[in-house]
A and B are shown apart, each in its own frame.
Chain A
């Protein structure tokens, strides 16, 4: 029995590290255990799906700081924090920083396994989103400058004639652009186009000033 996703486990306490590795393996998880953050960074493959189970109190650096650095470097992964001495403020900080869960030692297998499952799901979702965003960005790059302008107006919900007026051209030209955009982006409907643009962070064009 093996479930999808690897659990990357980082805890400086060898006894705890061994026990948690065993527990996760016993419940069918693939586990990679690291005794320090440095060791983890040295061997970490960001491409491998799975979550990070991270001890908060570590001699090198606080787990929360480590997570933040990891996120800004682009190797973000869903994190379950574990701590030997959980106080509310640390828990709140961890959750705000996007942790899936914050477990205070000692915890039951059920708590850990549920948190790990949720984190792996979150990781898979994040990966899917990231892949999709990459795809959309690739497609967006294929648009011409003009098409990109038209797209920004389309997702702002403007009618073709307004777009034409705004861009100083005729409605018919806009229609042609629009057809190309839908084709290049592979969008079946306006709704899908808007979702894609949103995913890639394309900003809608500001509304035109009211005409005379």
Chain B
């Protein structure tokens, strides 16, 4: 009973029709096939439910202890779009007639009951639909609360006034009006409590869940059902003397219901409740179990009360647990999203950084391209002049190959930086990472006449880091240093990069410039996101760099140099989590 194909009813029937026949024909033609299937299932379920209801009826009252058809109909209405409701109601009518007329009920009473039954289903379904924003799935406390009040209490109550009134008017059965109302309310509340959650949770996607279940989970479900049957039979279906001896035995099913609620959610809970209720009612109607001490009517009430009192909290508990599970899932999803966003932002800043270097990168590619072209054209000149010196030609070709590889290397470096990937920690040589970052900045360094002075410690331990992200940090620091020195006179443009091992087993890389020192009012905000002093700056470079270094378990800080300029330091532990 899925929500079915979205086939719309034929649009407005146009002009005035002479009689109703074509209207009905058109309306029927507009009903999708899936709705016919649903109608058939509803009719069958209604019929079987009614037969079962008669089996649970204690004379002399015409009210069954467990009357399922109304609730089955309500569940069916909740599962299909409102425009298909009339089809399901129409399908229930023949089933109702077939079941009731077999039991010798007068036709007027039969039709009256159909009216009260379907009114209960309609009132319940309508109220729930209006109150719940999403389709009712018994997976939130609010929705289950709405169902209990509107579907399981309000709808049975309202329809029971109508029902009892009809019974009295037609004169079928015995008992006074209020007694009839009372009996029917209890019966129908119980039916709604067990049927609607069960049908709705299973019909929504229960069978898919069943197919996708692991072996362990299936075994646990089977164990629960076996325990339920065992405990249910032991509690409700033993001769009276045996069971009433220990009244506390009534609580025996409770742990099993809790097991269902905690481990199997609303679907497991509603199934467990259904099994218990059927066993209890069956026992009670057959004179067995703890509920056969008084008159039939009293027995019926006791068993109904007991089952209602047991079901309501368990259903609410299952929904509350589901709410909590969804909260946890949402929190985890939010965490994942935040992680993903951080990764995206890191990539974005990296791309922006490379964008800043684009002119310099063009320079870096143009150098080998020039060498290749000029070498090749030199060879052409030699060939044209018929002055072919094999040694010279060999050298030219060797140079072309080397220059091509150099261009390829520039592109490889760039591609690695442009790539958007998960963080991958690996053991790497920090000196190498610095060399690569300087190679990426080479064009910019040359174009801005910056002299690079490096002091690499030869005894540097490897560190565990994400190669691309570490290079991003270093490149960012180098580019910042270059920009800081752009107004310096040519002989005051020295960039110094130093690496040194730390006592803890980690390493420290420092990038020193000779630009102006960082004024005090900027120092505090230096690592804040979106803080920038550059007209084209995003203001994310240092903030992202620091978050990368922190994610590596390291530290990023700066100090002003005694003479002029600033030095940025990156300290990385041997591996994330190791002490610095």
Contact = CB atoms under 8 A, between A and B. Distances in A.
- Do they bind each other? yes
A35 B465 CA distance: 38
Chain A CB within 10 Å, residue with most, of B366, B382, B396? B366
Interface in A82-121: 82, 84-85, 87, 104-109, 112
Interface stretch (B151-159, B268-276, B371-379, B417-425): B371-379
B382 A26 contact: yes
Interface stretch (B235-243, B304-312, B333-341, B399-407): B399-407
Contacts of A61: 449, 490
A210 interface: no
A95 B89 CA distance: 92
A106 B369 contact: yes
A20 interface: yes
Interface stretch (B38-46, B109-117, B355-363): B355-363
Contact of B367 (A13, A25, A27): A13
A58 B451 CA distance: 10
Interface stretch (B67-75, B195-203, B439-447, B557-565): B439-447
B402 to A, nearest CB: 7
Interface string A137-163: 000000000000000000000000000
Contacts of B571: none
A58 B381 contact: no
Interface string A36-62: 000000000000000000000111111
A18 B382 contact: no
A18 B403 CA distance: 11
Contact of B446 (A27, A59, A105): A59
Majority secondary structure, A binding face: loop
Contacts of A65: 490
Contact of B371 (A16, A25, A112): A16
A188 interface: no
A23 B380 CA distance: 9
A112 B373 CA distance: 12
Interface in A4-31: 12-13, 15-16, 18-20, 22-23, 25-27
B377 A85 contact: no
A20 B374 CA distance: 6
A13 B363 CA distance: 11
Given A16-B367, A105-B367, A26 B373 contact: no
Contacts of B370: 16, 19-20, 82, 84, 105-107
A85 B449 contact: no
A59 B450 contact: yes
Contacts of B366: 84-85, 104-106
Contacts of A84: 362-364, 366-367, 370, 443, 447
A84 B367 CA distance: 6
Interface string B472-515: 00000000000000000010000000000000000000000000
B367 A58 contact: no
A13 B371 contact: yes
Chain A CB within 10 Å, residue with most, of B392, B402, B447, B490? B447
B368 interface: yes
Interface in B97-115: none
Nearest to B379: A26
A22 B396 contact: yes
Contacts of A16: 367, 370-371, 374
Contacts of B392: 22
Interface size range on A against B: 20 to 34
B248 interface: no
A14 to B, nearest CB: 9
Nearest to A25: B378
A27 B384 CA distance: 10
A22 B374 contact: yes
Interface size range on B against A: 35 or more
B536 to A, nearest CB: 16
Nearest to A17: B371
Chain B CB within 10 Å, residue with most, of A22, A27, A62? A22
Contacts of B372: 19, 106
Contacts of B377: 23, 26, 108-109
Given A26-B381, A60-B490, A105 B399 contact: no
Contacts of A18: 371, 375, 399
Given A15-B406, A19-B378, A108-B377, A57 B371 contact: no
A61 B380 CA distance: 34
B317 to A, nearest CB: 70
Nearest to B402: A15
Interface string B428-455: 0000000000000001011101110000
A23 B362 contact: no
B385 interface: yes
Contacts of A108: 373, 377
A26 B385 contact: yes
A57 B363 contact: yes
A182 B325 CA distance: 112
B490 A15 contact: no
A58 B447 CA distance: 7
A19 B447 contact: no
B374 A109 contact: yes
B239 to A, nearest CB: 99
B451 A59 contact: yes
A19 B375 contact: yes
Contacts of B403: 15, 19
Nearest to B360: A85
Contacts of B446: 12, 57-59
A82 B375 CA distance: 16
Contacts of A82: 370
Given A84-B370, A105-B366, A23 B450 contact: no
Contacts of B359: 85, 87
Contacts of A25: 378
A106 B374 CA distance: 8
A18 to B, nearest CB: 6
Contacts of A27: 381
23 contacts: A13-B371, A15-B367, A16-B374, A18-B399, A19-B370, A19-B371, A19-B375, A19-B399, A22-B375, A26-B378, A26-B379, A59-B445, A60-B490, A61-B490, A84-B363, A85-B360, A85-B363, A85-B366, A87-B359, A105-B367, A106-B366, A106-B370, A112-B374
Given A19-B378, A58-B449, A106-B370, 18 more contacts: A13-B371, A15-B399, A16-B370, A20-B370, A23-B374, A23-B377, A26-B385, A57-B449, A58-B446, A61-B449, A84-B366, A85-B447, A106-B373, A107-B370, A108-B373, A109-B374, A109-B381, A112-B374
Interface of A: 1, 12-13, 15-16, 18-20, 22-23, 25-27, 57-62, 65, 82, 84-85, 87, 104-109, 112
Interface of B: 359-360, 362-364, 366-375, 377-382, 385, 392, 396, 399, 402-403, 406, 443, 445-447, 449-451, 490
